[in-house]
Structure 1
Amino acid sequence: MTNQPLGHRRATLTRAAFVSAPLCMLAYGVVRLSDPDHGPGPAWTTGHVLLLAGVLQFTLILPALHRLTGPARGAGRLAAGTATLLGLTGTLAVTAQATIDLVVGFRAADRPGMTRLFEEIQSHPGVLPAVYTVGPMLFYVGLLWLLVHLAVQRRVSPWRPVMVVLGTATSAADLDLLPLGALCFTAALLPLSLPLTAPRAQRLG
Structure 2
Amino acid sequence: MNSRTAFIAAPLLVLAYGVIRILDGLDGSRGPGIAWTTGHLAFMAALVLFVPIFWQMRRMAGGNALATASAAAGTAGVVALLAQFGIDIVVGFMSADNEAMGVLFDRVQSVPGVSTVVYDVVPLLFFAGQLALVVQLAALRRVRVWTPVLVLVDLVLPFIDKDLIPLGALCLLVSFVPLARQVPATSRPAAALA
TM-score higher than 0.5 here?
Answer: yes
The structure 1 residue matched to 2:62, chosen from 67, 70, 86, is 70
Are 1:29 and 2:18 an aligned pair?
yes
Structure 2 gap ranges (5+):
186-194
**1:5 corresponding residue in structure 2:** none
Structure 1 SS opposite 2:123: helix
Are 1:53 and 2:42 an aligned pair?
no
Letter in 2 for 1:64: Q
What do you get for the CA RMSD once the two structures are aligned?
1.2
- CA-to-partner distance for each residue in 1:115-154, whole Å, 9 max, x for gaps? 0110000001111121112111110100100111111111
**2:156 corresponding residue in structure 1:** 169
**2:97 corresponding residue in structure 1:** 110
The structure 2 residue matched to 1:38, chosen from 21, 30, 41, is 30
The structural deviation recorded for 1:70 is: 2.2
Q: Are the equivalent residues in 1 in contact too, given 2:4–2:184 (CA < 8 A)?
A: no
Structure 1 gap ranges (5+):
1-11, 72-76, 199-205
Larger Rg: 1
Identity of aligned pairs, percent?
44
Greater RCO, CA 8 A, separation 6+: 2
The structure 2 residue matched to 1:95, chosen from 82, 85, 95, is 82
- CA-to-partner distance for each residue in 1:39-88, whole Å, 9 max, x for gaps? 000100110010101111011100000010125xxxxx221111111100
Indicate the larger mover: 189-198 or 170-179.
Answer: 189-198
Letter in 1 for 2:117: A
In structure 1, how many angstroms separate the alpha carbons of the residues matched to 2:44 and 2:150? Answer: 22
Indicate the larger mover: 148-157 or 189-198.
Answer: 189-198
Q: Are the equivalent residues in 1 in contact too, given 2:143–2:178 (CA < 8 A)?
A: no
The structural deviation recorded for 1:173 is: 0.5
- CA-to-partner distance for each residue in 1:19-50, whole Å, 9 max, x for gaps? 10010000000000001211000100110010
Letter in 1 for 2:87: I
Q: Are the equivalent residues in 1 in contact too, given 2:108–2:114 (CA < 8 A)?
A: yes
In structure 1, how many angstroms separate the alpha carbons of the residues matched to 2:78 and 2:148? Answer: 18
The runs of 4+ residues in structure 1 deviating greater than 6 Å are none
**1:191 corresponding residue in structure 2:** 178
In structure 1, how many angstroms separate the alpha carbons of the residues matched to 2:160 and 2:116? Answer: 19
Equivalent residues, number: 182
